[in-house]
């Protein structure tokens, strides 16, 4: 079967069978990838025109109780310099972000016990009171249903929790035994049920990932229908057990972005920081492959280098204003415009 026919079939039926996915990942060429990118880009232009949504991320704590084998801020990494911002620090980042034109604030952290759901809920209220025209996205990991509900009731609009892999066996190779695949998947279902615009996602080329794993991810996306999907290449971090593992493939990451756009045309799909790290034109090419979101950093420059999930992360020397202008210019260079709107999911 020709790969192009499979891409057309995906566009028409919005899903493929598992064997078809595996075949596609094993056999596509650069021309097929260009075809997928053209198809995906047309779909995003139809839905979003040439507008790119921006989200400002505040990385407010790198303290984490988890020990994911790939992650630079895992608890066993004693080289990581730990930090935690407080409410006033975070409000200051939002103020700077608002002035710079952000209308979505993403609060991201490790699973930091000192920032319990109640404290975070109060902060969400405070942000929503100060900026009623802004969306708040949370990305603070696995919590209990009641905690997700408390945060939702406090006004949080969206939640990012990458599932990392939809293959249980693979999940077990990326995480210590005390972490549970079922619990993570259950969190995602709860988030969606609570009415969050919900984001799942994966790293491309994480150790032990096979084409079958990626097929499982695509089947999961087709079934779960997240409003957002975060996809970036795996990049090794020097102080983790995966330090010696190869990077994920840049081209495969772009291909997956295109396939996600084709499968779920309304998706909020970021060209991720990891994509911009593996290739200096990654975010631009991500947009040209179907992405419609970029998520620059609003964290104080003093802590940026400490939120190192992988080596050589970009933008750690730059300020909020610098990143804002840099991205504006990058998007303009490919004929796109940064949108000053909340950029909510819509059908
Ligand atoms: N390389 C690429 N992405 C990573 N993440 C964590 N560690 C790495 C790494 N070494 C991603 C995970 C996580 C998100 C916040 O960052 O997918 O969910
Ligand atoms: Fe941060 Fe370009 S986006 S420096």
Q: What is the pLDDT of residues 65-87, one digit of tens each?
A: 999 999 999 999 999 999 999 99
Pocket residue to mutate for ligand 1, from 179, 209, 246, 309, most atoms within 8 A of Cβ: 309
Residue found under tokens 């969606």: 192
Pocket residue to mutate for ligand 1, from 59, 70, 213, most atoms within 8 A of Cβ: 70
Q: What is the pLDDT of residue 148?
A: 98
Q: What is the pLDDT of residue 1?
A: 72
- Count up the domains in the chain and report the number: 1
Domain presence at residue 262: yes
Domain presence at residue 345: no
Q: Is 318 in the pocket of ligand 2 (CB under 6 A)?
A: yes
Q: Is 323 in the pocket of ligand 2 (CB under 6 A)?
A: yes
Q: Going by DSSP bridges, is the β-strand pair 197-204/228-233 parallel, antiparallel, or unpaired?
A: parallel
State the average pLDDT for the chain: 98
Domain presence at residue 347: no
Pocket residue to mutate for ligand 1, from 175, 179, 310, 313, most atoms within 8 A of Cβ: 310
Ligand 1 centroid – CA 201 distance (Å): 10
Q: What is the pLDDT of residue 283?
A: 98
Strand order in the sheet with 197-204: 56-61, 104-109, 135-139, 158-160, 197-204, 228-233
Ligand 2 centroid – CA 175 distance (Å): 31
Ligand 1 centroid – CA 230 distance (Å): 10
Ligand 2 centroid – CA 83 distance (Å): 22
Domain presence at residue 344: no
Q: What is the pLDDT of residue 136?
A: 98
Pocket residues for ligand 1 (CB within 6 Å)? 70-71, 162, 164, 203, 232, 234-235, 237, 274, 309-310
Ligand 1 centroid – CA 12 distance (Å): 32
Q: Is 262 in the pocket of ligand 2 (CB under 6 A)?
A: no
Domain presence at residue 7: no
Ligand 1 centroid – CA 74 distance (Å): 11
Give CA–CA dist 94/298, Å, rounded. 8
We report the CATH number of the domain holding residue 126 as 3.20.20.70
Rounded to 5 degrees, what are φ and ψ at 108?
A: -125, 145
Q: What is the pLDDT of residue 133?
A: 98
Residues 6+ apart with CB under 8 A from 201: 160, 162, 163, 164, 226, 228, 229, 230, 231
| Domain span including residue 234 | 14-339
Q: What is the pLDDT of residue 271?
A: 98
**Residue ranges, the chain, pLDDT below 50:** none
Give CA–CA dist 314/325, Å, rounded. 15
Q: Which ligand is nearest to the CA of 54?
A: 2
Domain presence at residue 39: yes
Ligand 2 centroid – CA 11 distance (Å): 33
Domain presence at residue 211: yes
Q: Is 319 in the pocket of ligand 2 (CB under 6 A)?
A: no
């Amino acid at each position: 079967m020709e790969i192009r026919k499979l891409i057309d079939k995906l566009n028409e039926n919005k899903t493929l069978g598992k064997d078809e996915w595996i075949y596609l990942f094993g056999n596509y060429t650069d021309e097929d990838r260009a075809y997928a990118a053209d198809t995906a880009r047309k779909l995003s232009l139809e839905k979003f025109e040439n507008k790119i949504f921006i989200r400002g991320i505040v990385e407010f704590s790198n303290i984490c109780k988890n020990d994911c084998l790939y992650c630079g801020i895992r608890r066993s990494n004693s080289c990581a310099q730990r930090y935690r911002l407080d409410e006033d620090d975070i409000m200051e980042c939002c103020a700077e972000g608002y002035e710079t034109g952000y209308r979505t604030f993403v609060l991201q952290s490790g699973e930091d016990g000192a920032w319990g759901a109640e404290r975070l809920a109060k902060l969400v209220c405070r942000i929503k009171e100060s900026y009623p025209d802004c969306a708040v996205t949370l990305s603070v990991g696995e919590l209990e249903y009641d905690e997700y509900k408390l945060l939702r009731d406090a006004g949080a609009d969206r939640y990012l929790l990458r599932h990392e892999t939809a293959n249980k066996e693979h999940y077990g190779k990326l995480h210590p035994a005390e972490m549970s695949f079922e619990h993570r998947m259950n969190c995602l279902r709860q988030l969606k049920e609570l009415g969050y615009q919900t984001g799942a996602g994966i790293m491309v080329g994480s150790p032990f990932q096979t084409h079958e794993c990626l097929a499982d991810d695509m089947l999961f996306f087709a079934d779960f229908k997240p409003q957002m999907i975060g996809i970036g290449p795996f990049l090794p971090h020097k102080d983790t057990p995966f330090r010696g593992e190869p990077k994920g493939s840049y081209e495969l990451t772009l291909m997956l972005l295109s396939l996600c756009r084709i499968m779920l045309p309304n998706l909020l799909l970021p060209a991720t920081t990891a994509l911009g790290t593996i290739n200096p034109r990654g975010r631009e090419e991500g947009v040209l492959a179907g992405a419609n979101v970029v998520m620059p950093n609003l964290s104080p420059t003093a802590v940026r280098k400490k939120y190192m999930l992988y080596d050589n992360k970009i933008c750690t020397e730059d300020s909020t204003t610098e990143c804002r202008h840099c991205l504006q210019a990058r998007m303009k260079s490919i004929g796109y415009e940064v949108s000053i709107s909340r950029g909510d999911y819509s059908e």
